[in-house]
Structure 1
Amino acid sequence: MTPALDYSPINDCRDALSRIDDVLTRHRPFWQARPFSEQSVPDWIAEHPALAKLLLGLDDDSVDRLQGSDTALLDALENHFPVCADIRQLIALPAASQPQCSEPPAGIPGNKWRQIDAFVAAASPLRAPYFEWCCGKSFLGEALVTGCFANAEADPVLSGVDIDAALLEAARHRAVPKRQLICADVLGDDLSGSLHHDHHLLGLHACGGLHQRMLSLGAEQQCHRISLSPCCYHRFIADYQPLSQFLRAASLRVSADDLRLAVRQSKTARRGERDARRQLQVWHLALLEQRQQQGRELSRFQSLPHSAVKRGFDDFCRRQLAANQYPEDLVTVNDVDMDAAELRLRNAERLGLAAMVFRRLLEMRCVLDSAQYLCEQGYVVALTQFCDSAISPRNILIDARRDDSCGGKAQRESTALP
């Protein structure tokens, strides 16, 4: 297995964050552009006409391929966008050797099992008792306590927490022994009595505010080890704030809305889901254009599931107008220019690739903020890419082991210094 990228020394983590912030600050017009919602063309086009021409000339297959792969995107744009070389270096992570994936236990979806298998392999060796954060049906925990892995402990103990009672009930029906499942809101309920120093705290694809709470509570309770694969950095956060003292003092401010870019990647989505999402985008742009022509603001966009496409354009408009406090208005397909919306989306998809160049960099900023925070709290931290992006684009493992030596205490105290 390739060794993980060791960010134990705080200064190494600070240096990486400083370099990332320098790139992001110098290229703010690119990653903060909103081509899917802004009427005007992005500000960067005037200074980079060759890049804009290249992007607008891409065919649909190329756009689809570049949207799904950071490596392919950086390769395609590097000659017209020199910052790609810097980004490639800053987002580089060692990849863990992929396990020989066995058949999943009954009831665990195949791709979810591949994620679990890779996560456990990259984090091994593991030691119980385990505490699974935002566990859902507790597939990860089930795999750990039922001996699915060659290096599994004998008779391990597992706890898990999730807010969804129905998911926890489904987990209980799987009759896994020695598993305590807690129904609680991890953002609001007091879980300090459930988490303790002996726990190995685990989170596979915990979103935004959920994983920030996981790290802060885990560090507060001094869990001996924390292993996290973060996901959807913008979710469950009204006003994004970094965890680490270092990044809280930085001049660059990144919003929760900015962090949506970090997960704008559809490589693992089904074709039907991607087509439905695109149709919703066309409808949104058509309605937006119609309202702008009437001089009426459409400032909020209600996020809808893919299935909303089945209810049609009229229902879509009713929901969006109600969200913007226009409940009495009626817009039908005859009131909009759908062809113009299609063209606008086509151009936005292509120009949006310039923003996507920075998506993994924004993700690394969040990941390194978590790593820096854990270093500040006295942990030794390593980073690994635990699976291929085809299995999951959210494939970074933050693996932290508590350093209870004097050196760890000195390291925590040093973080208050400039």
Structure 2
Amino acid sequence: MATFFFACRAVLLCGFACRNMLLDQFAALDQLLVDHRHLWQIDPFHLTDYPVTWETGLVQWLEQQSLDQLAGFTPGLFDAAPAPLPSSDRWQSLTRVPERRLSSRIDDRFFSQHIPGRKWQQIQYFAGATPLPEGAVLEWCAGKGHLGRLLAHTSGQPVTSLEWQDALCQAGNALARQKQLDQRFVCTDVLSTGIEAHFTHHHTAVALHACGDLHLNLIRHWPASGVLACAPCCYHLSATPEPLSDAGKRSALGLRARDLHLPLQEFVTGGAGSRRLRDRQLLWRMAFDAWQRAHRGVDEYLPLPTLKTSQLNDSVLAFFQWAAEEKGLALAPDFDPAPWLAKGQARADRVRRMEWVSHWFRRPLELWLVLDRALLLEQKGAAVEVVAFCPYHLTPRNLLIIAKGL
């Protein structure tokens, strides 16, 4: 009896310690983001000059650096950055999470068909980091069920894959039959009412990069029994930026919907061609913005719809014609975009410098959001940990919430 008592006490103490660790890390990140929100809670596209709240020394330092020099800074060199930014040691300590790495690999030729290489690696790492006790598995927002198919193979457990697109369900079912796996698809919208019924007969729920409200609905409806493994994504695709946990609701951060785009503004994929198109889009948008402010006599940013890639391969004059039409403005018959491109280049360079500053806070903000979700699960009574399930170069969305319920 005494042995049992001390074992239970050890488990409870460990649980309390883990909860305190997550809460302490959240509180420290919250303070960092609140103290420096004048540096990251900005809208560079809307500004024609640096924010008035920025220190003169920071602005002067930024103007002295070339864009290539700024791109060369890494967290390890962060102590060389100007004083208004956090030190390297503090930034790294607050954003550090344990790593859960892949323990074994399977035959790629058998399972990696129909899956892009980088996505396949993410699936492998996610599967290797997810604890799978005995019991059926529920795959949330499955697509073609690539993750569920791998889990059905490695665990031997039956998998139910939820997906709202019928074509993807049919394709996933065909692949499962081809591999002779115990995986079935249910064509349903995970945002619909009554979705919690799917948890009844499943011990483990998994979601790899479920976007916005899709992963929020999973976290809210998970019954705090069995295991939950969720890697969130696309935080901006949510009906509200409101925090979920009690600690998040007490925060003075005051997140706006547009702030939730910040964690997604990092590219670790794509080649030189993709970067050139992004640079061209920024230049053209800033050139048009300079023109429309002068043309309307109103010093105010006019947001444009998303551009198609084909438009960026067209002429800049065609872009101006499209943008002007979108905003109900008229170009002169002899309109020449060249002078506005020169103005746009200066604006684009300044936007990049402002974004460079705000982008130092992408990881702290993303971890803040993930910890907010983790703390909500703790409030349900679950034991929760947040880990990095794959290397950062495979995807910046490498944070995984693992919750173990009663």
Q: In structure 1, the residue corresponding to 2:208 is in which secondary structure?
A: strand
Equivalent in the alignment of 1:231: 233
Equivalent in the alignment of 1:88: 92
Alpha-carbon displacement from aligned partner over 1:243-289 (angstroms, at most 9, x marks no partner): 11221232321122112111211122333222212211111111111
Shift of 1:36: 2.9
Q: Distance in 1 between matches of 2:325 and 2:77?
A: 38
Match of 1:77, as an amino acid? A
Q: Are the aligned partners of 2:277 and 2:312 in contact in 1 as well (CA < 8 Å)?
A: yes
Q: Distance in 2 between matches of 1:313 and 1:72?
A: 39
Q: Taking structure 1 as reference, are residues 380 and 168 closer, same or farther at Cα in structure 2, changes over 3 Å only?
A: same
Equivalent in the alignment of 1:386: 389
Equivalent in the alignment of 2:255: 254
Structure 2 residue 115 is matched with structure 1 residue 114: no
Q: Taking structure 1 as reference, are residues 247 and 80 closer, same or farther at Cα in structure 2, changes over 3 Å only?
A: closer
Q: Are the aligned partners of 2:139 and 2:159 in contact in 1 as well (CA < 8 Å)?
A: yes
Structure 2 residue 350 is matched with structure 1 residue 341: no
Match for residue 356 of structure 2 among 353, 357, 363: 353
Q: Distance in 2 between matches of 1:91 and 1:128?
A: 34
Q: Are the aligned partners of 2:226 and 2:404 in contact in 1 as well (CA < 8 Å)?
A: yes
Q: Taking structure 1 as reference, are residues 153 and 15 closer, same or farther at Cα in structure 2, changes over 3 Å only?
A: closer
Equivalent in the alignment of 1:401: 404
Q: Distance in 1 between matches of 2:336 and 2:365?
A: 40
Matches within 5 A, 1:359-378: 359-378=362-381
Equivalenced residues, count: 383
Q: Taking structure 1 as reference, are residues 244 and 16 closer, same or farther at Cα in structure 2, changes over 3 Å only?
A: same
Q: Distance in 1 between matches of 2:210 and 2:77?
A: 27
Equivalent in the alignment of 2:276: 275
Q: Taking structure 1 as reference, are residues 226 and 106 closer, same or farther at Cα in structure 2, changes over 3 Å only?
A: same
Scaled by the length of structure 2, the TM-score of the pair is 0.84
Structure 2 residue 202 is matched with structure 1 residue 198: yes
Match for residue 179 of structure 1 among 180, 183, 193: 183
Q: Distance in 1 between matches of 2:302 and 2:117?
A: 40
Match of 2:39, as an amino acid? F
Q: Distance in 2 between matches of 1:73 and 1:290?
A: 39
The runs of 5 or more residues in structure 2 that have no matched partner are: 1-13
Equivalent in the alignment of 1:168: 169
Shift of 1:76: 4.7
Q: Are the aligned partners of 1:197 and 1:224 in contact in 2 as well (CA < 8 Å)?
A: no
Q: In structure 2, the residue corresponding to 1:398 is in which secondary structure?
A: strand
Match of 2:184, as an amino acid? Q
Q: Taking structure 1 as reference, are residues 74 and 211 closer, same or farther at Cα in structure 2, changes over 3 Å only?
A: farther
Larger gyration radius, structure 1 or structure 2: 2
Q: In structure 2, the residue corresponding to 1:337 is in which secondary structure?
A: helix
Match of 1:183, as an amino acid? C
The runs of 5 or more residues in structure 1 that have no matched partner are: 405-418
Match for residue 28 of structure 2 among 7, 19, 23: 19
Q: Taking structure 1 as reference, are residues 9 and 284 closer, same or farther at Cα in structure 2, changes over 3 Å only?
A: same
Q: Distance in 2 between matches of 1:382 and 1:289?
A: 48
Match of 1:393, as an amino acid? P
Shift of 1:329: 3.4
**More helix as a share of residues:** 2
Q: Distance in 1 between matches of 2:200 and 2:97?
A: 31
Q: Are the aligned partners of 1:386 and 1:397 in contact in 2 as well (CA < 8 Å)?
A: yes
Q: Distance in 1 between matches of 2:81 and 2:204?
A: 42
Match of 1:135, as an amino acid? A
In angstroms, what is the RMSD of aligned CA positions? 2.8
Q: Distance in 2 between matches of 1:214 and 1:319?
A: 40
Shift of 1:293: 1.1
Q: Distance in 2 between matches of 1:31 and 1:93?
A: 22
Q: Are the aligned partners of 2:391 and 2:398 in contact in 1 as well (CA < 8 Å)?
A: yes
Q: Taking structure 1 as reference, are residues 192 and 97 closer, same or farther at Cα in structure 2, changes over 3 Å only?
A: closer
Q: Are the aligned partners of 2:164 and 2:189 in contact in 1 as well (CA < 8 Å)?
A: yes
Q: Distance in 1 between matches of 2:233 and 2:93?
A: 22
Q: In structure 1, the residue corresponding to 2:214 is in which secondary structure?
A: helix
Equivalent in the alignment of 2:294: 293
Q: Distance in 2 between matches of 1:87 and 1:322?
A: 45
Match for residue 214 of structure 1 among 211, 218, 223: 218
Q: Are the aligned partners of 1:93 and 1:385 in contact in 2 as well (CA < 8 Å)?
A: yes
Q: Distance in 2 between matches of 1:138 and 1:318?
A: 43
Q: Distance in 1 between matches of 2:86 and 2:182?
A: 54
Match of 2:143, as an amino acid? G
Q: Taking structure 1 as reference, are residues 54 and 333 closer, same or farther at Cα in structure 2, changes over 3 Å only?
A: farther
Over the matched positions of the two proteins, sequence identity in percent amounts to: 27
Shift of 1:192: 2.2
Q: Taking structure 1 as reference, are residues 78 and 58 closer, same or farther at Cα in structure 2, changes over 3 Å only?
A: closer
Shift of 1:79: 6.1
Alpha-carbon displacement from aligned partner over 1:109-160 (angstroms, at most 9, x marks no partner): 2111111111111223454411111111211111112x2xxxx223x21112
Match of 1:210, as an amino acid? L
Q: Distance in 2 between matches of 1:318 and 1:164?
A: 37
Q: Taking structure 1 as reference, are residues 110 and 357 closer, same or farther at Cα in structure 2, changes over 3 Å only?
A: same
Q: Taking structure 1 as reference, are residues 392 and 310 closer, same or farther at Cα in structure 2, changes over 3 Å only?
A: same
